[in-house]
């Protein structure tokens, strides 16, 4: 009975079926080099492109970068891009897993008002009104464009190249 439930779960489309699906080619690349060299080459690729890189355990890290954008004809928004990288050793070489996300933020006028009173007991009411600008998230998504990942993997391969000399 358990086997039939597991087989049915693997055949069901949607979130459960997505967990057992093979990774998309844009999110994984195999390398002949060991995982530590591939991970370091990936880190250099992000650093060279202006990302701030933070280690996450022994096998990966996250690179983050912000860019200003215009929202509603004002230069008050920005895009936050995060690149999640995991390097895993294999019997021969290593596997590099990469997923990138972007979140769009902007400034929005917020108006709040509060009115406190008891109309039946007293005709007096006390109120407050505040206005201000607050940062809000407009949208976020996983970056799916193959060109983004291709540029990243190309930079990693260039950093792994034996002809590449170390900076002095």
Residue 8 lies in a domain: no
* Regions in the chain scoring below 70 on pLDDT: 1-24, 71-75, 115, 117-126, 163-168
**pLDDT, tens digit, for every residue of 70-97?**
766 666 788 999 999 999 999 999 999 9
Residue 11 lies in a domain: no
Tell me the DSSP string of the chain.
Answer: -HHHHHHHHHHS-SHHHHHHSPPPGGGEEEESS-HHHHHHHHHHHHHHTT-EEEEETTTEEEEEEEEEEEETTEEEEEEEEEEEEEEEE-SSSEEEEEEEEEEEEEEEEEEEEEEEE-TTT-S-EEEEEEEEEEEEEEEEEE---HHHHHHHHHHHHHHH-TTPPPP-
Residue 83 lies in a domain: yes
Residue 56 lies in a domain: yes
**pLDDT, tens digit, for every residue of 105-124?**
887 777 777 767 666 666 66
- The parent domain of residue 45 ranges over 23-160
Structurally, the chain folds into a number of domains equal to 1
């Amino acid at each position: 009975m358990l086997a039939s439930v597991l087989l049915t779960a693997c055949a069901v489309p949607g979130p459960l079926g997505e967990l057992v699906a093979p990774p998309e080619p844009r999110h994984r690349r195999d390398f002949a080099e060991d995982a530590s060299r591939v991970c370091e080459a990936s880190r250099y690729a992000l650093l060279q492109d202006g990302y701030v890189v933070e280690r996450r355990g022994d096998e990966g890290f996250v690179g983050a970068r912000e860019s200003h954008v215009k929202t509603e004809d004002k230069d008050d928004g920005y895009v936050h891009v995060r690149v999640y990288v995991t390097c895993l050793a294999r019997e021969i070489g290593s596997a590099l897993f990469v997923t990138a996300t972007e979140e769009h933020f902007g400034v929005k006028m917020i108006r709040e008002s509060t009115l406190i009173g008891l109309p039946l007991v007293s005709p007096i009411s006390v109120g407050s009104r505040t206005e201000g600008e607050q940062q809000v998230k407009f949208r976020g998504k996983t970056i799916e464009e193959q060109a983004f990942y291709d540029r990243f993997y190309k930079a990693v391969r260039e950093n792994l190249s034996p002809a590449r000399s170390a900076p002095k």
